[in-house]
Amino acid sequence: MTKRVMLIHALRDSVAPIHAAFAAGWPGAETHDLLDSSLSADHAADSGRLGEKMTERFRSLGRYAAAAGPGNQGADAILFTCSAFGPAIEAVKRDQRVPVLKPNESAFAEAIGHGARIGMLCTFPPAQAPMVGELEAMGREAGRALRVEARLVEGALAALQAGRAEEHDALIAAAAAALPPVDSIVIAQFSMARSAAAVRARVAVPVLTTPDSAVAALRGMLSVPHG
């Protein structure tokens, strides 16, 4: 039976990477998109604060996504692709009975499995601190003392949004190559996933992308075999 996954985006740049990941990792899934680009703009305008108003907006998106479907059918799962909103997504998880996945949690879990020294790259400034906090919290839950080397890749997101995709990829690859010794590198935003090949060409450790990890995790949660 085909599974319906609702994708919720705060950046237009996240749409293509997650569809590419589904095409590669789970082509049989039925995916649909909800995009509200005002989420990222308003979050940045609020200096990265997540107040009750923003959290309620996420709850509303979660309720809408969970109910999406013909007749009495709703979604089988919800995947958020926006990395800066972890606490708001946790509120959606508490509200919904269907699986709700944060964008980074699957890649972070994989990274912890590779070792305690984790490189993390991002391009959206408000996302960095919440993602570091989320990763460190997952480490504590796993009983691991992590050393997170987080870097904001200045100028990369602006280059991508201006149509200079190769510059975007090159900036991220250079930041990865400049990291101190790590056990793995997480390219921590969906919009950055296209840079994975350029990063892998510059480093010798596992490079994880959030879309690929999320698709694999959702497929497992919904017990969809490969083949």
- Domain ranges (residues) in the chain: 4-102+213-221, 105-210
Distance in angstroms (rounded) separating the CA atoms of residues 35 and 218 = 20
- Give the model's confidence band at 53: pLDDT under 50 very low, under 70 low, under 90 confident, else very high: very high
Q: Above 80 in pLDDT, residue 169?
A: yes
pLDDT bin (cut points 50, 70, 90) of residue 88 is: very high
Report pLDDT for 49.
80
**pLDDT band at 227, cuts 50/70/90?**
low
Sequence-ordered list of residues with C-beta below 8 angstroms from that of 84, at least 6 positions apart, any chain = 10, 40, 43, 48, 124, 126, 127, 130, 131
pTM, to two decimals: 0.88
Q: Are 192 and 172 in contact (CB under 8 A)?
A: yes
Contact 123, 153 (CB under 8 A): yes
130 close to 122: Cβ distance less than 8 angstroms: no
User: Can you tell me the distance from the alpha carbon of 68 to that of 66, in angstroms, rounded to the nearest whole number?
Assistant: 6
Say whether 105-210 and 4-102+213-221 share the same fold.
yes
Q: How far apart are the first and last CA of the chain?
A: 14
* β-pair partners for 30: 4
| pLDDT reading at 46 higher than 60 | yes
Q: What is the spatial distance between Cα 141 and Cα 144, in angstroms, rounded to a whole number? A: 8
Strands 100-101, 77-80: parallel, antiparallel or unpaired by DSSP?
parallel
| CA gap 71, 97 in Å, rounded | 18
What's the fold here for domain 105-210? Answer: Rossmann fold (3.40.50)
Question: 95 is written with which tokens?
Answer: 């509200």
| Rg of the Cα atoms in the chain | 17
Query: Looking at the predicted structure, is the pLDDT value of residue 29 above 80?
Result: yes
List, edge to edge, every strand of the sheet that includes 147-152: 147-152, 117-122, 184-187, 207-209
What is the C-alpha to C-alpha distance for residues 30 and 105, in angstroms, rounded to an integer?
A: 22
For 26, the 3-state DSSP assignment is coil
**pLDDT of 69:** 86
Q: How sure is the predictor about 142, in pLDDT bands with cuts at 50, 70 and 90?
A: very high
Helix (H, G, I), strand (E, B) or coil at 96: coil
CATH number of 4-102+213-221: 3.40.50.1860
Tokens describing residue 191: 């919009």
Token look-up 């990291």 returns 179
Query: C-alpha angle 180/174/14, rounded to 5°?
Result: 110
Q: How confident is the model at residue 11 (pLDDT cuts 50, 70, 90)?
A: confident
